[in-house]
Structure 1
Amino acid sequence: MRTVGASLAILWMAISYTSYGQQDSSYTQVKKGNLIFSLGEVTVLAAKSDSSLHITAATMAKFNRTEVSHALNLLSGVTLANIGPRNESVVFVRGFDLRQVPVFLDGVPVYVPYDGYVDMGRFTTFDLAQIQVSKGFSSLLYGANNMGGAINLISRRPTNRLDLDARVGVFSGNGRQWNLNVGTASERYYLQLGISQITQEHFPLSGNYALKEQTVEGRRDNSYRNDFRASAKIGFTPNQTDEYAIGYALLRGEKGTPPYVGADSRIMTRYWRWPNWDKESLYLISKTAITSSTQLKSRIYYDTFDNSLFSFDDATYTTQNRPFAFQSYYDDYTVGANLETVTSLSEKLTMNLGGHLKRDVHRENNLGEPQSVFSDNTYSIALETPYAITPALSIVPGLAFNSRASTEAKNFDRQNDSFMFFPNKSNQALNAQIGFFAQLANGHSLDASISRRTRFATIKDRYSFRLGSAIPNPSLHAEHAVNYDLTYSGSIASSFSFSTSLFRSDIADIIQRVDDVEPGLFQLQNAGKARFMGLEANLTQKLTQQIQIGANYTYLSRRNITSPEIRFTDVPTNKILLFGDITFQRKWNLLTNMEYNSRRYSTSYGATADAFALVNTRMAYQLSGAISIEGGVNNLLDSHYALVEGFPEPGRNFFLNLAFTMNKE
């Protein structure tokens, strides 16, 4: 409690805030260059409401959030987590993981075909205009598997003859970062290019970390990273209604996995390195006015994922002779397309009809072994019909049918040195939802929704032997959730704004581990029921033209109804974020924020990561109209904390950046 008290004192002495999680109108002005790439949005169309939240590029830069997962952590209802044994940075949305809240880039799915996850620590924010987050009630036009919502990374779109921004910086752990974004736009064409890199040799541990004998000069062993990203987009706008764009995104990553240093004897210490974690996405997005009342939208995409994982004998990372040592390779791709028609049937009624087709192929092998091959085809058709009952009240019903069919499942059995061929199976799911969006007096609004959403079992869920400890289950069918949401928001005197949400999810057919299906072996089965429920609250107060303050709070309860002894992991019951912004003498800006997380379970059998509080601060100075310098301290109080037991996070660390921005009309 002393740590929390000190954190609060420091925060309110700094008394600061920046508005986040909403549209940043100052950033989306043409004068600022780089609007969001509207073709990349996926929204539920209501007369005067959008159920999704947004984090703008301006907010991400101001908070120095260079990774998507850390940027998302600014939102209520979103929890930052770490898959410690894999060193994967992920988030949970109202208790749902990334298999149930898939990640998209401009509406194109980028999650890994094998297990549905994606390491969000590899996705940097430098070339993004906005991150769109939908919770519970999300557009059915995303396609299958968005049981708990969706996360859409929206790229930039230039608006001026020249839009340019660049940044170079250093940070603790011998870290370096740089990025360059340049764009140009004319009446008929636009071009956007981006390139960036983050490298770090290690991250520093807290001076309060007790097991200092396991570290070298306070450095976290094997915590290096090297992430390079490039993106390009060329667009054609032949008239006022039509737009066509080709986008490309490249990610080249390399990382280590810091070894486990906890006290749980059940967890094996792994000595893992990832020589490459690479992704490429190529996509064509378009919108065409077919008639004065009908618009056709399309996406065609090809996404690849190449990955190698090396397991070593010990902390020297030089030999691979022990039974658990290996070299594993993934070679995956996804190809797909979707079409959507938007038809205005009347001034009040719109019909959105969409169809999806996606093929996922996963290929893996260890060094010297033949390749296992798995492939799925996923189909979806969805209908949404937003209707404006009155100018202030809209209703959005929706219905979708999803189908997933396995087309190949050839798994190499190392114990028998032979292939096991699984029968092709298919699975269908029906999704439905309805939302009410009411605009009340004086800018207040009330939204209510109920939705039934599903998630198909992944390739890993159905076919993995889990290193010889599990029995595959190709017959797994979709788990489903009924999500309820009630949200009230408003503002008072234009200086105070607030929103609060009550939500609940009743989940059935949860894919859950069932032990001793055969002696010593477990199997994943549709065996579980659960209930997630909670509260979100957001407050912002503009004290003067120069000073703003705010806070958000999340309460989340996750109950395993079928097997209470099996705990849900990685999400705290309580999360608080206090934040703020003060500008003085026009050129100086101070931003400070404090985050508190209560304890969370790290394993299903009860190991926990303790509660923690963090204070971060940043000071920026505008050297000229185009150049600024900024520096700051993360984890100012040098707290020792972990997102998962046995995998400590960085202690006090520093950063310094120099930024340049130029826009010419």
Structure 2
Amino acid sequence: MPAFSPIALPDPPRSRYRAPLHHGLGLALAVALAAPASASDNPPTGRDKRNDDSVFELGSVVVRGKRSQLPPNGEVVLTREQLDALNRETVGEAVAVLPGVNLSRNARNEDLVFVRGFDPRQVPVFLDGIPQYVPYDGYIDFGRFTTFDLAEIHVAKGTASLLYGPNTLGGAINLVTRKPSEPFQGDLRVGAGSGGERMAAANIGARKGMWYLQAGLSWRDANSFPLPDGFQDYKRVPTDTGDERENADRSDRRASIKIGLMPNDRDEYAIGYVRQDGEKGNPVYTGTANQGIRYWRWPYWDKESLYFIGNIGLGATSALKLRLYEDRYGNGLDAYTDASYSTPILSTSFPSVYEDRTRGASAELAFNTFERHDLRLALHYKEDRHEDRNPRSPDKRYRDVTTSIALEDGITLNDRYRLRLGASHEQRKAREVYFWPTGSTSANNALAELTRDVGEDGQLFAGISRKTRFPTIKDRYSARMGRALPNPNLKPETARHLELGWRGQAWTGARVEATLFRSSIDEMIQDTQVASTACGGMLCDQAQNIGEARHRGVELALQQRIGERVQLGGNYTWLDADNRSNPAIPITHVPRQRLFLHASWAPSPQWEAVATVEAERGRTVPYSGSGRSAFIPLDGYASIGLKGVWTPHAGLAIEVGGRNLGDRWYELSEGFPMPGRSWFANVIYRF
């Protein structure tokens, strides 16, 4: 198990976006089917403990080394067992249990993840190493990505590998899928909870000879969620006066399938397809401001990915990993005049239809030719297309092409010291733009990390890196509903990271990690006002490279086993994020202090209790509807969770639990309450 893990254990008013993936990966399929056939070993067994063969290692970007109890350099890993133990059903909920990571929920009813103060545009998300972030604005809604078909989640921070490709300014999050390790295996689960919440999921894997198949289906649905004790809607015309949140329904469906071929010990080829369809309400602001109140609904939020990944052995000391992929994303947004949601707003902005498409490829060549060197060369190509459609305005089309080359070398200096060096060059060109000029920009990145083994499983580490992020299509060209002047000449944001830490066994049964970090960000993209009559007045907003920021902090993590029945652990993060260019405008949505604690007690093989505590303080957020420069500090909170698990016989688990048991009223964005006390019950069968 990786070190320092948190616990061991209606028809829309227009057609839904359903464009098929009909291009692209025929060559990949041909390569896979033409691979040489030879007998393979029987799949490994031993389900009583975690088996790395259940993880789709081709989906990893950084491979775990010989000291397998430690995570890869620069990464922390959440396993399938940890996701189940903590009932983390979405990626946003899952990664928020890690040090340095926090969750936010904005006015668009999106779950956003921040890593050491860096927002989702600066910490891209990957699925088996394939980029998943939306090309137009760089964001994804982490609440739409479920975890049922995942084997692991890898979170890398400032010294994230350059092999991920462009835009890893603050790190990277890689969702690694499952891979069967037995002839037939899987799990089935159903559940229900407060607010009309319902869930069902099935994941099945099979291996026969040199072939394997992994497939998954999941469905999550809810009508609403309970409001906390003491909640009050402060609007002049309140919309939330009952016990449950209005317009907070959601429905998410996900299907995935992967077919793989392993003709020998070194070669492996896999084709995967993932489709997710979602729709959601958008709860209305409930704070004291009386401007900017939205009555929105999202009739669809759909995404599908088709990809090929292959690993080809080249002689005794080299290998080539190939990735080919096509990804499509579409969403619809409807706006209404009031909370009855009966009269739609029809304008040049609504209804809004976004359609994005990405095609790309990468090649990673690994050389172990030189003694004590693990040398890797990676090439990336990515084409992003965005189309903005509205029946009352012209269609707007954009196309970006991003390329990069990265070189990274892991050097074993001696039995205790290892050095990781890397450098990359990246380029982005705007090939098609609506109305405005095209342009191009480039960036360079570098990293160095030194580790020293201490004892049997301890490690000292120090790292320094320079990372960049290209401005998105929205950053450069969005007029923001007529309020802004585009800026095609935006430059990349730049961050310089430093970190120093130690991890290992501090005393019997305990594993500890302590990290100091500092990041200096330059060329931050921020809005300023410029003289222009293009926005209907004398001034326009415009995004410019004018910002400077500094993030610094401490991360502490502890895991303690007491005998065979009790495990305790948790992590604490202190983060000081300063806007150096304009201290009057704070860095928002990032708590100054965050704590996550957990405990599990198994009095017998059939029974287990799991308790969690999440607490934070020092979060500052924009004050909704009040203007650009108004901000408000949110109250701190502590949320307690508890569940009991009964295992009547091997493979079957029945669990009942609750979240926010203190029914605390807290918010992650001003005017948007989080769920109050809620209950859930699940039945899980593993085979």
Matched-pair identity in %: 39
Matches within 5 A, 1:336-347: 336-347=360-371
- Deviation string 1:74-105 (CA, Å, 9 cap, x unpaired) is 1010001112x210001100000111100000
Does the CA contact (< 8 Å) of 1:21 and 1:53 recur in 2?
Answer: no
- 1:184 is aligned, of 206, 231, 255, to 206
1:381 aligns with 405
Alignment match, 2:301: 277
Superposition deviation, residue 627 in structure 1: 1.2
Residue aligning to 2:73 = 50
Provide the residue aligned with 2:594 in structure 1. Answer: 575
- Report Cα offsets for 1:301-335 as digits up to 9, x if no partner: 00000111101111011112476972110111000
Listed as ranges, the matches of 1:186-201 within 5 Å are 186-201=208-223
Asked whether the 8 Å contact 1:312–1:326 carries over to 2, the reply is: no
Q: Deviations over 1:93-131 (max 9, x none)?
A: 000011110000000001000000000100001000000
Aligned partner of 1:71 in structure 2 is: 94
Q: What does residue range 546-557 of structure 1 map to in structure 2 within 5 Å? A: 546-557=565-576
Q: How many angstroms apart in 1 are the aligned matches of 2:64 and 2:86?
A: 30
Q: Choose which of 610, 624, 627 in structure 1 pairs with 2:652.
A: 627
| SS of structure 2 residue aligned to 1:462 | helix
1:368 Cα offset (Å): 4.2
| Residues 1:564 and 1:293: Cα distance change in structure 2 (over 3 Å) | same
Distance change >3 Å, CA 643–CA 599, structure 1 → 2: same
Name which of structure 1's ranges 366-375 and 644-653 shifts more when overlaid on structure 2.
366-375
Contact 1:614–1:637 (CA<8 Å) still a contact in 2? yes
After superposition, residues 217-236 of structure 1 pair within 5 angstroms as: 217-236=242-261
Cα separation, 2, equivalents of 1:470 and 1:503? 36
Q: Is the 8 A contact 1:46 1:396 kept in 2?
A: no
Q: Secondary structure at the match of 1:70?
A: helix
Cα distance, 1:625–1:34 mapped onto 2, change above 3 Å: farther
Letter in 1 for 2:611: T
Letter in 2 for 1:455: R
Is the Cα–Cα contact under 8 Å of residues 128 and 177 in structure 2 kept in the other structure?
Answer: yes
Which aligned pairs between 1:149-168 and structure 2 lie closer than 5 A? Answer: 149-168=171-190
1:403 and 2:403 correspond:
no
Q: Residue 92 of structure 2 aligns to a residue in which SS?
A: helix
Partner of residue 393 from structure 1, selected from 391, 403, 417: 417
Q: CA deviation at 1:46?
A: 6.7
Can you give the 5+ residue segments of structure 1 that lack an aligned partner in the other structure? 1-17, 411-420
SS of 1:173's equivalent in the other structure is helix
Q: How far has the Cα of 1:140 moved from its partner? A: 0.5
Opposite residue 296 of structure 1, the aligned amino acid is: L
| Secondary structure at 1:602 match in 2 | strand
1:480 matched to 2:519 = no
- 2:163 — aligned with what? 141
* Structure 1 stretches of at least 4 aligned residues deviating more than 4 Å after TM superposition: 21-24, 26-34, 44-49, 321-325
Answer yes or no: is the 8 Å Cα contact 1:44–1:138 preserved in 2.
no
Matched, 1:445 2:479: no
Report the 3-state secondary structure (helix = DSSP H, G, I; strand = E; otherwise coil) of the residue aligned with 1:99: coil
- Larger mean Cα displacement after TM superposition, 48-57 or 477-486: 48-57
The structural deviation recorded for 1:653 is 0.4
**Are 1:127 and 2:149 an aligned pair?**
yes
Query: In the aligned structure 1, how far is the partner of 2:573 from the partner of 2:227?
Result: 28
SS of equivalent to 2:631: coil
- 1:458-493 C-alpha deviation (Å, 9 max, x unpaired): 000000001111110000010100011112011045
The CA distance in 1 between the partners of 2:507 and 2:551, in whole Å, is 35
Given residue 630 of structure 2, which amino acid in structure 1 is its aligned partner? Y
Distance (Å, rounded) in 2 between the aligned partners of 1:27 and 1:406: 52
Q: Contact 1:46/1:394 (CA < 8 Å) preserved in 2?
A: no
TM-score of the two chains, using structure 1 as the length reference: 0.92
Equivalent in 256, 271, 279 of residue 254 of structure 1: 279
1:427 has 2:451 as partner: no
Q: TM-score, normalised by structure 2?
A: 0.89
* Comparing 608-617 and 237-246, the one that deviates more: 608-617
What residue is the counterpart of 2:543 in the other structure? 524
Counterpart in 1 of 2:604? 585
Q: Are the aligned partners of 2:307 and 2:323 in contact in 1 as well (CA < 8 Å)?
A: yes
| Residue matched to 1:369 | 393
1-structure distance, mates of 2:337, 2:141: 25
**1:327 correspondence with 2:372:** no
Higher mean displacement: 155-164 or 46-55: 46-55
State how far apart, in whole Å, the 1-side matches of 2:594 and 2:478 are.
Answer: 35
Instruction: Report the residue type matching 1:661 in the other structure.
Output: R
Aligned to 1:208: 230
Q: Distance in 1 between matches of 2:193 and 2:360?
A: 40
Name the residue aligned to 1:615: 640
CA contact (8 A) 1:408 1:424 kept: yes
How big is the shift at 1:141? 0.8
Match of 2:525 among 511, 536, 542: 511
Q: CA RMSD in A?
A: 1.9
- 1:263-297 Cα offsets, whole Å, 9 max, x none, are 134x4110110010000000000101011111000
Please report how far the alpha carbon of residue 379 of structure 1 lies from its aligned counterpart in structure 2 after TM superposition.
Answer: 0.2
Which residue pairs with 2:477 in the alignment? 463
Q: Is the Cα contact below 8 Å between 2:248 and 2:280 reproduced in 1?
A: yes
Shift of 1:23: 8.7
Distance 1:28 1:483, change over 3 A: farther
- Aligned match for 1:541, one of 542, 560, 572: 560
1:359 pairs with 2:383: yes
SS at match of 2:142: coil
TM alignment of 1:654-665, pairs within 5 A: 654-662=679-687
The number of aligned residues is 632
Structure 1 503/640 Cα, relative in aligned 2: closer, same or farther at 3 Å? same
**CA pair 27-221 structure 1, distance change in 2 beyond 3 A:** farther
Change in Cα spacing, 1:295 to 1:323, as seen in structure 2 (3 Å) is: closer
Distance 2:410 2:511 in 1: 27
CA contact (8 A) 2:347 2:392 kept: no
Alpha carbons 2:74, 2:160 under 8 Å: kept: yes
What residue in structure 2 maps to residue 3 of structure 1?
none
Q: Shift of residue 223 of structure 1?
A: 0.3
Question: 2:362 and 2:90 mapped to 1: Cα distance?
Answer: 28
Alignment-derived partner of residue 80 in structure 1? 103
- The match for 1:651 is 676
Instruction: Decide whether aligned partners of structure 1 residues 250 and 270 sit closer, same or farther in structure 2, where only a CA change above 3 A counts.
Output: same
Counterpart-to-counterpart distance in 2, 1:166 and 1:210: 40
- CA–CA separation in structure 2 for the residues paired with 1:254 and 1:555: 36
Query: Which amino acid counterpart does residue 468 of structure 1 have in structure 2?
Result: G
AA of the residue aligned to 2:608: N
Q: Flag the 1:638–1:628 CA change in 2: closer, same or farther, 3 A.
A: same
How much does 1:62 deviate?
1.1
Counterpart contact for 2:6–2:570, Cα < 8 Å? no
Which residue does 1:4 correspond to in 2?
none
CA distance in 1, matches of 2:682, 2:544: 50
Distance 2:152 2:217 in 1: 17
Per the alignment, residue 560 of structure 1 pairs with 579
Alpha-carbon separation, structure 1, partners of 2:419 and 2:369: 15
Gapped regions of structure 2 (runs ≥ 5): 10-44, 533-537, 623-628
**How far apart are 1:498 and its partner, in Å?**
0.3
Residue 172 of structure 1 and its aligned partner are, at CA, apart by 0.5
More off after superposition, 367-376 vs 320-329: 320-329
Q: Which amino acid aligns with 1:82?
A: R
Name the CA distance, whole Å, in 2 between partners of 1:321 and 1:445: 59
Q: Measure the CA separation in 1 of the matches of 2:246 and 2:328.
A: 30
What's the secondary structure of 1:207's corresponding residue?
A: coil
- How far apart, in 2, do the equivalents of 1:517 and 1:622 lie? 68
- CA deviations on 1:431-483 (whole Å, 9 max, x unpaired) are 01111011112421101100000000000000000111111000001010001
**Does residue 600 of structure 1 match 2:619?**
yes
Distance change in 2, residues 1:44/1:31 (3 Å) = closer
Call closer, same or farther: CA 1:551–1:197 in 2, change over 3 Å: same
Q: What is the alpha-carbon distance in structure 2 between the residues aligned to residue 517 and residue 569 of structure 1? A: 27
